[in-house]
Amino acid sequence: MKRFVSGVILGTFLTSGAAFAAVKGDISSMKILLSGQEKMTSYGGPVVIDGRTYLPLRDVSGWFNRPVYWNEQTRTVSIDQPLVTLIDSNGKEIGAILLKQEAGGVNLTLEAVGLTPGKHGFHIHASSFTGTDFSEAGGHFNPDGAKHGYNHRDHEGDAHLGDLGNIEVAVDGSVKTEIFVPRATLEKGHPNSILGKSFIIHAEEDDLTTDPAGNAGDRVAGGNIPE
C-alpha cells in the first residue's frame, strides 16, 4: 500500500513539477513549448505567483499523453494508473487497489489489512459513496444486464461485469492478490468504464449462485474509483 501511494506522489512531481488544479493569481503571457510546439492551458496561460509557475495537472498530463485521475473523497491525484484507497466502516484506511488497463480488461492489484480471515465477496458497484455509507454504492456494476452467480475469471462472459467472486484473507487479516476483470475499461465515457464506480468488500463469502449479489452479507469495506 505504501509503495502505491509513494508512486503516485512521485509521479505527480515528475510529470508536472509544482502543479495544482486550481490557484488564484495573475495570468502570465509566458509561452509553453513542448518539442517546439506552443501549448495553451484550458484557461489561456500559466499562473505565476511569487515567481513560481503553476499549471493545471490535467492539461500537462494531456500534453504528455498520460491520463490523470482525481479522487474527490480522498483528495488524491493518480497519474497513469488509478489508485483506489480502501476504508473500513469506521473510515480507517486499510489498503489500496492499483488499476491497470490491459488488453481485454483491467488488472487489479489489491493489498489490504485488518479484515476477518476467510473468503469475502468482492464486487464493483455501480456508484461511488460518501464517507462510510457503503449503501450509496448501489448494486453491482452490470452494464450488460447479466445475472450474478458465475466466477467470470473462469467463465468469461457468463457473469455481470462487477461480479469479482471472492478474495481470501489470511489468518493475520491481510490479503494481497491480483484480479483480472474481463471487458472492463478505464476509458472515460465507455459503457464498460469502471471510473467513478466503487469496490466493496462484504462480510461473508459470495456463494457464486444467488442473484443479484451472491448473498455475501454486509458491506464492511470499500473504495471509490477515481475519474
Flag whether 71 is in a domain. no
pLDDT digits (tens, 9 = 90+) for 86-99: 999 999 999 999 99
pLDDT higher than 70, residue 20: no
Q: What value does the mean pLDDT take over residues 18-30?
A: 48
Flag whether 72 is in a domain. no
Q: What is the mean pLDDT of the chain?
A: 79
Note whether 92 and 198 are within 8 A (CB): no
Cα dihedral 177, 182, 185, 189 sign: negative
d(CA 94, CA 200): 13
**Same domain membership, residue 61 and residue 85:** no
pLDDT digits (tens, 9 = 90+) for 50-96: 767 666 666 766 666 778 788 877 778 777 789 999 999 999 999 99
With 0-12 CB in 10 A as exposed, 13-18 as middle and 19+ as buried, what is 169? buried
Total tally of structural domains belonging to the chain: 2
Domain with 215, as residue range(s), is 78-224
pLDDT band of 15, cuts 50, 70, 90: very low
Flag whether 56 is in a domain. yes
Encoded amino acid at 77, one letter = V
**Same domain membership, residue 204 and residue 95:** yes
pLDDT digits (tens, 9 = 90+) for 99-138: 999 999 999 999 999 999 999 999 999 999 999 999 999 9
pLDDT digits (tens, 9 = 90+) for 177-199: 999 999 999 999 999 999 999 99
pLDDT higher than 50, residue 12: no
